Chains A and B, each alone.
Chain A
Amino acid sequence: MDYFVELLFSGLTRGSIYALIALGYTMVYGIIGLINFAHGEIYMIGAFTALIVSTVLSIYNMPLPAIIVLTVAASAIWAGAYGYTIEKLAYKPLRRAPRLSPLISAIGMSIFLQNYVLLAQTPDFLPFPALIPDFPFMEPIAGIVGSSDLVILATTTVIMVLLSLFIKFTRTGKAMRATSQDRTMAMLVGINVNRVISATFITGSALAAIGGLLIASHVGQINFFIGFIAGIKAFTAAVLGGIGSIPGAVLGSLILGLTESFATGYVSSDYEDVFAFSLLVLILIFRPSGLLGKAAAEKV
C-alpha cells in the first residue's frame, strides 16, 4: 500500500510539472493555433533565472522565505518577458503566413535559445539550491512523500485554481476566451487582440518558469538541455488532454505522469516511455482531438 501511495505521489508530482508546462502550450494553441516549440526553453530559462537570482540573494544572507518569494517572482517575470519577446519577434510577423511558417520559426527559436544558454552560461550540469526546505513535520513520512512533492502539488493546485478564476472572471481572461473563440469577432467588439496574445504568452511562460524552478529544486540540478524532454512530454500531455483545452492539459499531464510512474513501479522503467506514448496513440485513435478536446476548447 505504501508503495502504491509512493508511486501515486511520484506520478502526481511529475504530472504537476508537466501540467505547468502544458498549460503554456495549450493556451497559446487555443488563442493563435500555434504549437510554441520554444516553450520548453522558457521552462529552462525560468530555472536558470531562479538559479542565478537565488544564488545572488543567498550571498546577501537573506532569509529563505524572502529568497523564495523574490526568486519565484524574478523568474516568472523574466520568463514572461522572454515569452512576450519571442512572440513579438518570431510569431507576430508571421501571423498571416501559412501555418507551417510560425511552426518552423518556433523550432528555430527553440534551437536558438538552447544554444544561447549553452554559450552564455555553461554546457555543464549545475547544482540547484534546495529552495524547498525539508519540513520537520514531514519527517515521519519523508520516506513516502517528500517535502518538495508536497510543495509542488500544493503550488500547482493553487496555480490551477488562480488560473481558472483569472480566465473566468477577469477582463483579460474573458478577452482571452473571446479571442480563442473567434479572433475576428473579438477584434470587432473592441478587444485588443495583440494585447491578449501577449498576455497569453506571458502567463504561459510564467507558469513554465515556476514549473522549472520547482522541479530544479526537487532534483537539485539543471543544464541547458532540460527544456527539450520536459517540453516534449508536456506537449504530449497537452495533446493527450486535447490541445487548446485548459482542463484537458491538466488532466492529460496527470494521466501521463501517473502512467509513467506506475509503469516504472509495476513493470519496468525500461518501458516508461513506451507506456506513455502507447497511451497517447490509443487515446488519439479513439478520441482524435484528445480527452477534452474540441467541445471544451470552445469554452476556453
Chain B
Amino acid sequence: MQMSFNALEEQRVKMNRCSPVLAGIFILGFFFAAPAMGADTIKIGVAGAHSGDLASYGLPTVKAVELVVNDLNASGGINGKKIELLVEDDVCKPEVATNTATKLVSQGAHIVIGHICSGATKAALPIYRDAGIIVMSPSATNPALTQSGEYPNFYRTIAADDAQAKTEVDFAINIIGAKKIAVIHDKGDYGKGLAEFAKTFIEQSGKAEVILYEGVTPGALDYSAVVQKIKRSDADAVIFGGYHPEASKIVTQMRKKRMDTVFISDDGVKDETFIKVAGKYAEGVYATGPADVTSNPITQAARKAHKKTYESDPGAFFDNAYAAALAVTNALARAGSTESAAIAEVLRQEDVATPFGLIHFDEQGDATGVGFSIYQVQNGTYVQVK
C-alpha cells in the first residue's frame, strides 16, 4: 500500500513535470493549426528584405508574387489547390536569412521566391538545399550563386553580374567571329570588373584569345598610344569596359586611324551622349544594355494590375519577381506535384511567358532571356540587334 502510494505520488509529480511540456504542445498545436488546416494548399515562401534600409528592394517582390498568386487563386489555384504565401523578412542580413530559411522550411514551404540580396541568399541556400526546396531569386546577381554548382536548387530571373560580359563575349565570338580580342578598360570598379569577366569568358571559350588587356587612364588628353597598340595587335574586335567619354575618344581615334575593328562595349556606353559626342564615328559600335520590356503585353498588364491594386508604380526588381512568380507557379502546375525534381524538370525544359518574353532556365539555374541585349549604333541611334 505504502509502496503503491509512493508510486502514485511519483506519478503525480511526473504528471506535474509533464504538464508544461503538454501545454507547450497544445500551444504549438494552435500555431500549427493554421497551416494544418490547409493541408492541401501549395505553400510558396517569399523571403527578402521587407523592413529596414533595403526594404524597397524586397517589398516589390512581395507585391509581384501577391498579384500573380491572387489571380491564380481567384481562378481556382493550381491543379485545384489554393496557393498560400508564407512571407518572411530577412532584412537582407545573412545571419537573419538562415533563421528565415529555417522558419520557412519548418512551415513546410514547397518552394521559395527569394531571397533579395546575394549575401542573404547565399547564407540561406544550404538550408533549403538540405531540405530539398527550390529557391528562385528575382534579384541576387552574384555570379557564384549559380556558377559554383554548389546550389543545384537555386534559380534566378535576373542576369548575373557577369552576364553583360558574357553577352559581349558570346556576340564577339559567335556572331562577329572574332578570333583575337583586345580587352580594354578604364581601371574603374565597373569597367575593370567587366573586363576581367570578359577576359575569363574569352579564355574559357577556347575559340578566341585575349590578344591585349589594358587599362586606360580616364581623362587623359588622348588615347592614341593605346589605339596604336590595338592596331598593332591586329585584333578582330575590341571589348571595352567603362563609360562613354573614354569609349568615344578611343573609337574616334581608331576610326581616324582608319581602323574598322569591331568595337563592343557595355551599358555605360549605351547612352545617347556617346552618339552625340562620337558623332559619325559612333556608327557601327555595339553596346549591351538591358532588354527593353516595356512593350511586352505581360509587362504592361502586370504594371497596370500593380497600379490598380497598390495605387502606385512598381518598385525595384518587380519585373524579375513577376517573372519568377510566373515561372514558379507554371512549374508547379505543369509538374503536377510539389516534388523538387519534377519542378526542376519543368523549369529547365519548358518555356514560360514572362515580362521578359519566353524564358526557361539553364543547367546552372540562370534564366535565359532576362539578361542583356546587343544594340548597335545605326544612323545615329541605338538599335537592338540581338
From A13, A230, A260, A270, residue with most partner B Cβ within 10 Å: A270
Contact between A220 and B252, CB atoms less than 8 A apart: yes
Q: Given A6-B228, A127-B279, A264-B229 in contact, is the A269-B221 Cβ separation under 8 Å?
A: no
Residues of chain A lying within 8 A (CB to CB) of residue B228: 3, 6-7, 10, 265
Kindly state whether residue B206 has any CB partner on chain A within 8 Å: no
Q: Given A125-B273, A143-B231 in contact, is the A220-B225 Cβ separation under 8 Å?
A: no
The answer for the CA separation of A11 and B222 in the assembled complex, in Å, is: 10
Kindly state whether residue A228 has any CB partner on chain B within 8 Å: yes
Residues of chain A lying within 8 A (CB to CB) of residue B221: 14, 17-18, 215, 219, 229-230, 233
Q: Can you name the residue of chain A whose Cβ is closest to the Cβ of B185?
A: A270
Kindly state whether residue A29 has any CB partner on chain B within 8 Å: no
Contact between A218 and B222, CB atoms less than 8 A apart: yes
The answer for the CA separation of A251 and B227 in the assembled complex, in Å, is: 25
Kindly state whether residue B307 has any CB partner on chain A within 8 Å: no
Kindly state whether residue A221 has any CB partner on chain B within 8 Å: yes
Band of interface residues on A = 35 or more
The answer for the CA separation of A17 and B224 in the assembled complex, in Å, is: 14
20 more A-B residue pairs beyond the given contacts A125-B273, A219-B252, A260-B225, with a C-beta to C-beta distance below 8 A: A6-B231, A7-B225, A10-B224, A14-B221, A18-B221, A125-B245, A125-B277, A142-B257, A143-B259, A215-B221, A218-B222, A219-B221, A220-B249, A220-B252, A221-B245, A226-B219, A228-B219, A230-B221, A265-B225, A269-B217
The answer for the CA separation of A265 and B216 in the assembled complex, in Å, is: 12
Kindly state whether residue B214 has any CB partner on chain A within 8 Å: yes
Q: Can you name the residue of chain A whose Cβ is closest to the Cβ of B244?
A: A125
Residues of chain A lying within 8 A (CB to CB) of residue B279: 127, 220
Q: Given A219-B252, A221-B277, A261-B225 in contact, is the A270-B214 Cβ separation under 8 Å?
A: yes
Give 5 closest A-B pairs by Cβ, nearest first. A264-B225, A10-B224, A270-B215, A261-B225, A229-B219
Kindly state whether residue B253 has any CB partner on chain A within 8 Å: yes
Kindly state whether residue B17 has any CB partner on chain A within 8 Å: no
Neighbour of A220 across the interface among B224, B226, B273, B277, CB < 8 A: B277
What would 18 A/B residue contacts be, using CB atoms closer than 8 Å? A11-B225, A13-B224, A17-B221, A18-B221, A142-B257, A143-B257, A146-B224, A215-B222, A220-B252, A220-B278, A262-B225, A264-B229, A268-B214, A269-B214, A269-B229, A270-B214, A272-B225, A273-B217
From A3, A7, A10, A225, residue with most partner B Cβ within 10 Å: A10
The answer for the CA separation of A168 and B188 in the assembled complex, in Å, is: 48
Residues of chain A lying within 8 A (CB to CB) of residue B231: 6, 143
Contact between A269 and B216, CB atoms less than 8 A apart: yes
From A3, A125, A223, A225, residue with most partner B Cβ within 10 Å: A125
- Chain B 221-260, CB-CB to A under 8 Å as 1, else 0, gives 1111110110110000000000011001100110011110
Min Cβ gap A271→B in Å is: 9
Residues of chain A lying within 8 A (CB to CB) of residue B249: 219-221
Q: Can you name the residue of chain A whose Cβ is closest to the Cβ of B187?
A: A270
Q: Given A219-B249, A225-B219 in contact, is the A265-B277 Cβ separation under 8 Å?
A: no
Contact between B252 and A3, CB atoms less than 8 A apart: no
Residues of chain A lying within 8 A (CB to CB) of residue B28: none
Min Cβ gap B97→A in Å is: 39
Kindly state whether residue B74 has any CB partner on chain A within 8 Å: no
Contact between B225 and A269, CB atoms less than 8 A apart: yes
The answer for the CA separation of A13 and B278 in the assembled complex, in Å, is: 21
B328-384 contacts to A (CB < 8 Å): none
Min Cβ gap A122→B in Å is: 11
Kindly state whether residue B220 has any CB partner on chain A within 8 Å: yes
Q: Given A219-B253, A264-B229 in contact, is the A272-B220 Cβ separation under 8 Å?
A: yes
Kindly state whether residue B207 has any CB partner on chain A within 8 Å: no
Number of interface residues of B (CB under 8 A): 33
Contact between A13 and B222, CB atoms less than 8 A apart: yes
Kindly state whether residue B276 has any CB partner on chain A within 8 Å: yes
From A18, A228, A268, residue with most partner B Cβ within 10 Å: A268
The answer for the CA separation of A223 and B277 in the assembled complex, in Å, is: 11
From A13, A124, A218, A225, residue with most partner B Cβ within 10 Å: A218
Kindly state whether residue A126 has any CB partner on chain B within 8 Å: yes
Contact between A126 and B219, CB atoms less than 8 A apart: no
Residues of chain A lying within 8 A (CB to CB) of residue B226: 264, 269
Q: Can you name the residue of chain A whose Cβ is closest to the Cβ of B220?
A: A229
Residues of chain B lying within 8 A (CB to CB) of residue A3: 228, 232
- Chain A 118-141, CB-CB to B under 8 Å as 1, else 0, gives 000000111100000010000000
- Chain A 209-239, CB-CB to B under 8 Å as 1, else 0, gives 0000001001111010110111001000000
The answer for the CA separation of A142 and B258 in the assembled complex, in Å, is: 7
Min Cβ gap B188→A in Å is: 13
Q: Can you name the residue of chain B whose Cβ is closest to the Cβ of A228?
A: B219
Min Cβ gap B241→A in Å is: 13
Contact between A10 and B225, CB atoms less than 8 A apart: yes
Q: Can you name the residue of chain A whose Cβ is closest to the Cβ of B192?
A: A270
Min Cβ gap A188→B in Å is: 43
Contact between B277 and A269, CB atoms less than 8 A apart: no
From B229, B231, B244, B259, residue with most partner A Cβ within 10 Å: B229
The answer for the CA separation of A262 and B225 in the assembled complex, in Å, is: 8
Q: Can you name the residue of chain A whose Cβ is closest to the Cβ of B253?
A: A219
Neighbour of B256 across the interface among A124, A125, A146, CB < 8 A: A146
The answer for the CA separation of A127 and B214 in the assembled complex, in Å, is: 26
- Chain B 186-230, CB-CB to A under 8 Å as 1, else 0, gives 010000000000000000000000000011110111111110110
Neighbour of B229 across the interface among A142, A225, A265, CB < 8 A: A265
A12-60 contacts to B (CB < 8 Å): 13-14, 17-18
Residues of chain A lying within 8 A (CB to CB) of residue B220: 229, 272
The answer for the CA separation of A218 and B224 in the assembled complex, in Å, is: 10
The answer for the CA separation of A223 and B281 in the assembled complex, in Å, is: 19
Q: Given A142-B256, A219-B253 in contact, is the A127-B276 Cβ separation under 8 Å?
A: yes
Min Cβ gap B16→A in Å is: 77
Q: Can you name the residue of chain B whose Cβ is closest to the Cβ of A264?
A: B225
The answer for the CA separation of A57 and B287 in the assembled complex, in Å, is: 34
Contact between B222 and A219, CB atoms less than 8 A apart: yes
Contact between B229 and A221, CB atoms less than 8 A apart: no
Residues of chain B lying within 8 A (CB to CB) of residue A124: 273
The answer for the CA separation of A116 and B279 in the assembled complex, in Å, is: 27
